[in-house]
Amino acid sequence: MKINKIKEMSSPELEKELGELKTELFKLKFSLATNGLDNPMKIKEVKKDIARINTILTERKIAESKKA
């Protein structure tokens, strides 16, 4: 997922996407442990997407606290 797409999303949408990505990461790790994955780099991509979303959410919280 590109950073521009993430920035366009609202905070509730990001929270929902974050939950979905964490679930996907769990399934990927479980699959890797049990029978292997076709593309183990997918785990790395999902982790980076989670980090990007967390970064944007943190930036928004900081901006909110500065306004108040």
**pLDDT tens, position by position, 14-31:** 999 999 999 999 999 999
| CATH code of the domain covering residue 19 | 1.10.287.310
Side-chain half-sphere exposure of 28, counting CA atoms within 13 A = 16
Query: Sign of the C-alpha dihedral, residues 17, 18, 21, 26?
Result: negative
Counting Cα atoms < 13 Å in the Cβ hemisphere of 46 gives 18
pLDDT given for residue 1 in this prediction = 78
Query: pLDDT band at residue 37, thresholds of 50, 70 and 90?
Result: confident
How many domains, in total, are found in the chain? 1
Residue 62 has pLDDT above 80, yes or no: yes
Q: Over the Cα atoms of the chain, what is R_g?
A: 14
Give the residue numbers spanning the domain of 31: 3-67
pLDDT at 68 over 80: no
